[in-house]
Amino acid sequence: MKILVFGSEGMVGSSICRIFDQNSSYSKIIKSNRKDTNLFDLDQTKKIINDTRPEIIINAAARVGGIVANNTYRTEFILDNLKINMNILESIIPHNSLKLINLGSSCIYPLNADNPIKEDYLMTGPLEPTNSPYAMAKLTAVEIGDSLNKQYGHQIVNLMPTNLYGINDNFDEQNSHVIPGLISRMHKAKTEIFNSFKVWGTGKPYREFLNVDDLSSAIDFVIKNNISDNLLNVGSGYEISISELVKKIQKVINFKGKIEFDNTKPDGNPRKLLDSSKLFNYGWKPKIELTQGIEQTYNWFIKNIN
The stretches of the chain forming alpha helices (DSSP H) are 11-21, 42-52, 67-72, 74-91, 132-152, 178-191, 212-224, 242-253, 277-282, 290-304
Is 238 annotated in the active site?
no
Answer yes or no: are the C-beta atoms of 290 and 225 closer than 8 Å. Answer: no
Find, among 148, 282, 134, the residue nearest to 220 by Cα: 282
Question: Of 134, 165, 206, 238, which is the active-site residue?
Answer: 134
Per DSSP, the residues of 249-274 read HHHHHT--SEEEEETTS----SEE-B
Give the C-alpha separation, 89 to 155, whole Å.
12
What residues are labeled active site?
134
